[in-house]
């Protein structure tokens, strides 16, 4: 086992042991509170450009199960765990997690105090960091860390070619870095899902004759997605039933005149409480985002906040008033995570059927 170091932008250094691929990696250090579902976490495209810290102390205990992947590969920049299990136990496993990390070229570190790291992020906010096998050239490393920024996440995580899943109501899913369980949930409800790259123009998207439009999750700063925003603005003119998740929620808000802001340390994990302001019900949700829509920035004649985070009151859902559209910040497809909000897919299908009756 070789030594490895995590260097944070504030100068903090953590000494541990290297796991996964050998080498050096640079990214935005974030933490997630999920106790399991590490395969889904590692392959969630929303983590593009980020180094993932698992707050649960033991990871890898059921090995590597690629069947649970949420995309074609790992899009994260690195992986941090307290302890990596070298001998997973599960009848579905195809191998060990460390071997999978090597195969995916994910550089990681174990054996550091992840509780201290998590407290640091909670106190100071998300910050850049580097996993490296050497502390040589610290000044240059800190300079490189300070300059890092996540760029072009949707363009780098979207599908390269369109594909179709299922049959029934024609839904176009615009892929900004979509988790695979989103098209699966739609197909299971009687939809013909056309998964399209986010590089397509509004005209190309409309050529698929959508009866409904799904805006997927994804990574990065929504304000950077200029091309994607322009296409949503054009699509909104047709008033096609639309459902947005995570980044799709943020992009729809921006395209409708609202504003977004970066959260101090984001919401990542499978136990985030969300309150529906209409029904008063509270749901436990799966979340992975570092940005949020500013509640008071939504034009009153355009939409209204429907759901809020029960902890910090940030926007978790918007109902739009002049067109058949609603969006949520969390993940109702919840793979992995709680299934409390799967009914939102049914709401979307019902809205689409009513509009196309």
Neighbours of 271 (CB within 10 A): 13
Q: Based on the fold, state whether residues 94 and 204 are members of the same structural domain.
A: no
DSSP characters over 227-289: HHHHHHHHHHTTT--EEEETHHHHHHHHHTT--EEEEEEEEEEEEEEEEETTT--EEEEEEEE
Residue 236 maps to which CATH number?
A: 3.40.50.880
Separation of alpha carbons 156 and 171, rounded Å = 23
Choice between 336 and 125, residue whose per-residue pLDDT is larger: 125
Q: 97-117: per-residue pLDDT in tens?
A: 999 999 999 999 999 999 999
Task: Give the mean pLDDT of 235-242.
Answer: 97
Task: Give the mean pLDDT of 251-256.
Answer: 98
Q: 198-221: per-residue pLDDT in tens?
A: 999 999 999 999 999 999 999 999
Q: Based on the fold, state whether residues 66 and 21 are members of the same structural domain.
A: yes
Q: 271-327: per-residue pLDDT in tens?
A: 999 999 999 999 999 999 999 999 999 999 999 999 999 999 999 999 999 999 999
Q: 87-98: per-residue pLDDT in tens?
A: 999 999 999 999
Residue 101 maps to which CATH number?
A: 3.50.30.20
pLDDT at residue 337 in the model: 79
Q: Based on the fold, state whether residues 224 and 129 are members of the same structural domain.
A: no
Task: Say how many Å lie between the first and final Cα of the chain, rounded.
Answer: 63
Q: 130-164: per-residue pLDDT in tens?
A: 999 999 999 999 999 999 999 999 999 999 999 99
Q: Based on the fold, state whether residues 35 and 58 are members of the same structural domain.
A: yes
The percent of residues in the chain predicted with pLDDT above 90, rounded, is 96
* pTM (two decimals): 0.95
- Give the residue numbers annotated as catalytic, written as ranges: 246, 331, 333
Q: Based on the fold, state whether residues 130 and 16 are members of the same structural domain.
A: yes
Among 113, 147, 181, give the residue marking a domain's end.
Answer: 147
Q: Based on the fold, state whether residues 168 and 199 are members of the same structural domain.
A: yes
H or E element: which one contains 142?
Answer: helix 138-147
The range of the structural domain enclosing residue 280 comes to: 153-355
Q: What is the mean pLDDT of the chain?
A: 96
Q: Based on the fold, state whether residues 166 and 306 are members of the same structural domain.
A: yes
């Amino acid at each position: 086992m070789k030594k490895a170091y995590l260097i944070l932008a504030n100068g903090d250094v953590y000494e541990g042991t290297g796991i996964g691929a050998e080498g050096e990696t640079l990214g935005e250090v974030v933490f997630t509170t999920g106790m399991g579902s590490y395969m889904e976490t590692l392959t969630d495209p929303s983590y593009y450009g980020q180094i993932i810290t698992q707050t649960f102390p033991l990871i890898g205990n059921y090995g590597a199960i690629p069947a649970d992947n949420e995309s074609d590969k790992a899009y994260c920049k690195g992986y941090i765990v307290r302890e990596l299990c070298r001998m997973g136990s599960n009848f579905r496993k195809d191998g060990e997690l460390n071997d999978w990390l090597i195969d995916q070229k994910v550089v990681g570190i174990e054996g550091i105090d992840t509780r201290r790291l998590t407290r640091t992020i909670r106190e100071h906010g998300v910050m850049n960091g580097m996993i490296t096998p050497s502390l040589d050239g610290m000044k240059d490393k800190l300079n490189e860390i300070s300059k890092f920024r996540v760029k072009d996440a949707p363009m780098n995580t979207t599908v390269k070619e369109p594909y179709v899943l299922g049959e029934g109501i024609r839904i176009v899913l615009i892929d900004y870095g979509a988790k695979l369980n989103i098209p699966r949930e739609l197909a299971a409800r009687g939809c013909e899902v056309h998964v399209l790259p986010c590089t397509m123009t509004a005209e190309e998207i409309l050529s698929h004759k959508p009866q409904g439009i799904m805006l997927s999750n994804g990574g990065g700063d929504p304000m950077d997605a200029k091309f994607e925003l322009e296409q949503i603005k054009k699509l909104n003119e047709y008033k096609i039933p639309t459902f947005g998740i995570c980044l799709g929620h943020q992009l729809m808000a921006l395209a409708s005149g609202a504003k977004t802001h970066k959260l101090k340390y984001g919401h990542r994990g499978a136990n985030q409480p969300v309150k529906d302001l209409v029904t008063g019900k509270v749901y436990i949700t799966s979340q992975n985002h570092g940005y949020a829509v500013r509640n008071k920035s939504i034009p009153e004649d355009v939409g209204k906040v429907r759901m809020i985070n029960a902890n910090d009151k940030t926007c978790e859902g918007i109902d739009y008033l002049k067109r058949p559209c609603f969006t949520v910040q969390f993940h109702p497809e919840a793979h992995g995570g709680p299934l409390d909000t799967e009914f939102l897919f049914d709401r979307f299908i019902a809205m689409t059927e009513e509009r196309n009756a």
